Amino acid sequence: MACAHGESDRHVATINILPDDILLEIFAFRLPDFDSHLASIRHMRVWQRLMHVCQRWRRIVYASPRYLDLHLYCSSETTFRKNLSLWPEFPLAVESSLPDDQDDFIAVLEHPDRVRRVDLTAEITKPHVVEVMRVPFPALTHLQLTGPKDEGYDPDVLDLPDDLLGGSAPCLRHLILGNLTFPGLPTLLSSAHDLVSLDLYSVPPTGYDRGYISPKEMASSLAVLTKLRTLSIDRYSLLIPSHEERRRPDPPMLTVLPALTQFVFGRDFEYLEDLVAQIDAPRVEDIRIEYSMKEVQTRQLSQFIGRSNLKRAQFRRAKVTFGSYRIYINLDLPQGECLQAKFFIEMVPRHATAVSQIMCVVHVLDQLVAMTSKVDHLQLDLSFWITTPSQVGQEGEWLPLLHLFSAVEVLEVFGGLVGCIASALEDTAEETPTISLPELQLLWLGDDNCKKPERFLSSRQLSGRPIIIVDTQDEFVERLNAHWKEKIL
């Protein structure tokens, strides 16, 4: 875009007919969004090219730093230690996972009044870099610090000082901490009134006392975050220290998070129950949970959902996938007042047997019945690597799961579950053909070689509730579309 001779001169002369405000809009459109580290670097290089075209363009760019969101980015691809003073005092951003020259990053961090974004990973979080971040950064809006993975515990690398950012972050909007311990987090959060997203993950090692933050302390530190929209605590080793004894907290005053819409949690299910017992998030509509469990209890999670928008989601579709050691439950296609709602659970049962997995799903869904009562499309799947009969369970073991979905009109079954589900339906034919899936109208067993549950189909025909069974996926999709179209009309 540099101004040269000939054709380029004519193009610049033509575009210069436009007034300043129109040129400014064109510049803003030309600048890439901050959706990644590379986009941030491209953003800086584009506005630098624009200002080199001519004096008028430079004046327009320099006159609108806020509107164009102009930053100077220090990364492994750029250097600033020697020429930082050559540029206007635009906000600074430090982003890198490849610290070729840590002195360069330190030189930028020594301007805390100008630093807006910090994203440092792996070795860059060593003490002599973090040391300069023990003072207030009053303009900081984005902070991501990630320690090295799988390197064993090293307090020089993994421990953040309690007084990080001087213990205060008044303008912070996005915070990500991973593979690090930071006991000063509650203090920092208490000052971060503008925080929009909080992501904590992989605190090492399990049982390390210094990194433990109790559910009560965590809930209390969230109380001031009235603008928080996303809360993610994923693969976070929050297990209690060895000298403490876990006990359920007394009925608490709930911490209200009025803006929270997405909640993600991983691993320690008991911690999850203790935490959500102390949180009220009325607008939450996207919940994603992963946990290992000794006992299947979701009472507090169920009550937490009951205090949120999700209780009105009326999900239409449920997909349950059984793996070797994990189970996935996904609810989608909401209707009613919460059209953006999503709910996902990944479970790691205490035992990997088929009956254990089935009972886990039954117990969890039975406690979340408010969200599944309107499900009319059920998908059951089995991970492809599970092949032996002992891994898929006996026919009768599947009936409690089917009984939970009394509103299901469409059933899809995939993989190794086809034979079991077909046999389970067949076994109900003579005695109670309408107890399992009483509203079922469309059935697809995704295996051409599977023996169809003829007695079940005949019994439903005689009961006045016939079922259509299809042989191919194309036919199923066609029938499914016609079915939903008929319901809508």
- Return the domain boundaries, the chain: 1-70, 402-489
Element (H, E) at 354: helix 354-367
Identify whether the C-beta of residue 357 lies closer than 8 Å to the C-beta of residue 326. Answer: no
Q: How many CB atoms lie within 10 A of CB 339?
A: 10
Element (H, E) at 146: strand 142-146
Find, among 123, 124, 122, the residue nearest to 108 by Cα. 124
Find, among 185, 192, 146, the residue nearest to 163 by Cα. 185
Distance in Å from the first CA to the final CA of the chain: 56
Q: How many angstroms separate the CA atoms of 408 and 438, rounded? A: 8
Tell me the C-alpha to C-alpha distance, in Å, between residue 20 and each of 11, 113, 301: 16, 30, 55
Task: Please tell me the number of Cα atoms within 13 Å of 446 on its side-chain side.
Answer: 14
pLDDT digits (tens, 9 = 90+) for 11-20: 555 777 788 8
pLDDT digits (tens, 9 = 90+) for 248-283: 555 557 899 999 999 999 877 788 888 999 999 999
Cα–chain center distance at 80: 35
Encode burial over 361-395: b for 16+ CB neighbours within 10 A, e otherwise. Answer: bbbbbbbbeebbeebbbbbbbbbeebeeeebbbeb
Over its length of 489 residues, how does the chain's per-residue pLDDT go in tens digits? 444 455 555 555 577 778 888 887 887 777 766 555 455 666 677 777 777 778 888 788 787 777 777 777 776 666 666 667 777 788 888 877 555 566 777 888 888 998 988 888 765 556 677 888 899 999 999 999 887 765 554 554 567 888 899 988 899 999 998 888 888 899 999 999 999 999 998 765 444 556 678 888 899 999 999 999 999 998 655 444 444 555 555 555 789 999 999 999 987 778 888 899 999 999 999 999 887 765 556 788 888 988 888 888 889 999 998 877 788 999 998 887 777 899 998 887 666 666 777 888 888 888 888 888 889 999 998 765 444 444 555 556 788 888 888 899 999 988 778 888 888 888 776 656 556 788 889 999 876 667 788 888 888 888 888 889 888 888 888 988 887 777 765
pTM of the model: 0.81
Q: How many angstroms separate the CA atoms of 145 and 371, rounded? A: 37
Strands 442-445 and 72-74: unpaired
